[in-house]
Amino acid sequence: MKPNSIYQSVIEILDLYSFEVKIEIILKRWAVKNRFAGSSDRRKIRDLIFDILRQKKSCEYAGGGSSGRNLLIGYLKLNNVDLKGALDGSPHGPGKLTSIERDFNVDLSDSDFIYKLDIPGWLVPIIKRSTGDDFSEIAKILRTRSVTQLRVNLKKISREKAIVLLLKDKILAELNLLCSSALDILGGAPNIMRSSAYINGFVELQDAGSQLMSQLITTNNNDKILDLCAGAGGKSLAIACNTNVLAHFYAADVNYERMKDIQTRSKRAGVKIRLLDDVSLTAPYDKIIIDAPCSGSGSWRRDPEGKWLLDKDKLSNYMKTQRKLILQGIGLLRDGGHIVYITCSILDIENEKLINDLMISSKSFKIINKKSLIPSLDSDGFFGAVLKKI
């Protein structure tokens, strides 16, 4: 597909999209009806759609509206693409630029103002308070794409050997400087899940920050470790693949179906994780991982829809769940045991403030370690804290 045809496809998809239906579903429906679009074209369209969703409000501002065409025009303006060339009326492309569109101009010189547009207005004060002097840089970087990152299974292979192995499948990787198990993918990302390195359990897709938070936990021989909000098991797999001691890993989730991939993933990785539907039967535990449901504000680059769907009620419910999970975890620990509480949030009210307030009211634990990451070129934004039962 020519660039102008891709632009027209983007307009059509954005016009079909509403937040009531996930964009991935809209993209799949579009692909079924437009089978002429090859995999490379679909990736270009998807990347452009997600770029626009990350920058939705600034695209509306620059483009003069919220239609698919307005959003595309705004995006092209913000990225200094020639509008006349992009909207020239060529076959299968967007219609020609109208005089109204050509004459519509707004001030795009204040970059901080533009960046701030792409954070929901009601969250701006909370994020400013939470991030301080980093706010402008965070607002800027949340408008960009995240790097695809891999976790190397250090039980099986070194990072250096994994890079060589990935290259055989035309995947270009380099060491991530933030985390000792992470690789950044520079090219060939679509090949990852078909690569021998992935199939044989040498690598898994996982953000470097997520990996780093998993390393907050210290594993001892015969530890019983529970992943309380396991989902697909990313955190427990990261811990199990980064230790040579004999520990016993358990996984649970309020929605058991979410764990359906853990057995396949753990078998591929060469580790054992037991799935539980009743966590009390194998209590008490030495360590508990709580990868808590949260706003996802640290990972909005990967899920821009989440940013625009979040509201005050949802955030309040997340915080209630977070407090409930910590107290549940404390009840399942042995005396002196540890919880590793993790969020992919940059909001203090989900992170340190929430833990401090709960620690004061419950008097059942103390904080012995913590780590915060802001969204950067190296990782998404995360918070992690180690809590000791007292």
Confidence of residue 21 (pLDDT cuts 50, 70, 90): confident
Buried b (16+ CB within 10 A) or exposed e, 140-168: bbbbeebbbbbbbbbebbebeebbebbee
**Does residue 372 sit in the same domain as residue 237?**
yes
pLDDT in tens, 197-238: 999 999 999 999 999 999 999 899 999 999 999 999 999 999
Q: HSE (CB half, 13 Å, CA atoms) of 200?
A: 11
**Does residue 107 sit in the same domain as residue 155?**
no
Q: Is residue 370 part of a domain?
A: yes
**Does residue 235 sit in the same domain as residue 349?**
yes
**Does residue 62 sit in the same domain as residue 185?**
no
Q: What is the 3-state secondary structure (H, E, C) of the chain?
A: CCHHHHHHHHHHHHHHCCCCCCHHHHHHHHHHHCCCCCHHHHHHHHHHHHHHHHCHHHHHHHHCCCCHHHHHHHHHHHCCCCHHHHCCCCCCCCCCCCHHHHHCCCCCCCHHHHHHHCCCHHHHHHHHHHHHHHHHHHHHHCCCCCCCEEEECCCCCCHHHHHHHHHCCCCEEEECCCCCCEEEEEECHHHHHHCHHHHCCCEEECCHHHHHHHCCCCCCCCCEEEECCCCCCHHHHHHHCCCCCCCEEEECCCCHHHHCCHHHHHHHHCCCEEECCCHHHHCCEEEEEEECCCCCHHHCCCCHHHHHHCCHHHHHHHHHHHHHHHHHHHHHEEEEEEEEEEECCCCHHHCHHHHHHHHHHHCCEEEEEEEEECCCCCCCCEEEEEEEEC
Instruction: Report pLDDT for 269.
Output: 95
Taking the C-alpha atoms of residue 384 and residue 298, their distance in angstroms, rounded to an integer, is 12
Amino acid at 280: S
| Averaged pLDDT score across all residues of the chain | 95
Confidence of residue 34 (pLDDT cuts 50, 70, 90): confident
| CATH assignment of the domain containing 177 | 3.30.70.1170
Q: Is residue 139 part of a domain?
A: no
Q: Is residue 134 part of a domain?
A: no
Q: Say yes or no to pLDDT of 19 above 80.
A: no
Q: Given the structure tokens 């996802």, which residue do they identify?
A: 296
**Domain of residue 48, residue span:** 3-118
Q: Is residue 262 part of a domain?
A: yes
Residue predicted with more confidence, 30 or 341? 341
Domain boundary among 182, 206, 230: 206
Residue predicted with more confidence, 35 or 343? 343
Instruction: Report pLDDT for 222.
Output: 95
pTM score of the predicted model = 0.94
Closest CA to 171 of 181, 160, 158, 162: 162
**Does residue 202 sit in the same domain as residue 74?**
no
**Does residue 304 sit in the same domain as residue 372?**
yes
pLDDT in tens, 339-365: 999 999 999 999 999 999 999 999 999
For the chain, the residue count is 390
pLDDT in tens, 121-137: 999 999 999 999 999 99
Instruction: Report pLDDT for 346.
Output: 98
Domain boundary among 206, 241, 276: 206
Domain boundary among 206, 221, 254: 206
Instruction: Report pLDDT for 285.
Output: 98
Q: Is residue 18 part of a domain?
A: yes
**Does residue 246 sit in the same domain as residue 357?**
yes
Instruction: Report pLDDT for 165.
Output: 98
Instruction: Report pLDDT for 161.
Output: 98
Instruction: Report pLDDT for 1.
Output: 80
**Does residue 198 sit in the same domain as residue 251?**
no
| CATH assignment of the domain containing 368 | 3.40.50.150
Confidence of residue 37 (pLDDT cuts 50, 70, 90): confident
**Does residue 217 sit in the same domain as residue 197?**
no
**Does residue 383 sit in the same domain as residue 340?**
yes
Q: Is residue 178 part of a domain?
A: yes
Count of structural domains within the chain: 3
Q: Is residue 129 part of a domain?
A: no
**Does residue 42 sit in the same domain as residue 80?**
yes
Residue pair 208/178 in contact by the 8 Å Cβ criterion: yes
Instruction: Report pLDDT for 112.
Output: 95
Instruction: Report pLDDT for 314.
Output: 98
Q: Is residue 184 part of a domain?
A: yes
Query: Quick one: what percent of the chain has pLDDT higher than 70?
Result: 100
pLDDT in tens, 44-76: 999 999 999 999 999 999 999 999 999 999 999
Confidence of residue 20 (pLDDT cuts 50, 70, 90): confident
Token pair for 206:
């996982």
Q: Say yes or no to pLDDT of 369 above 80.
A: yes
**Does residue 274 sit in the same domain as residue 194?**
no
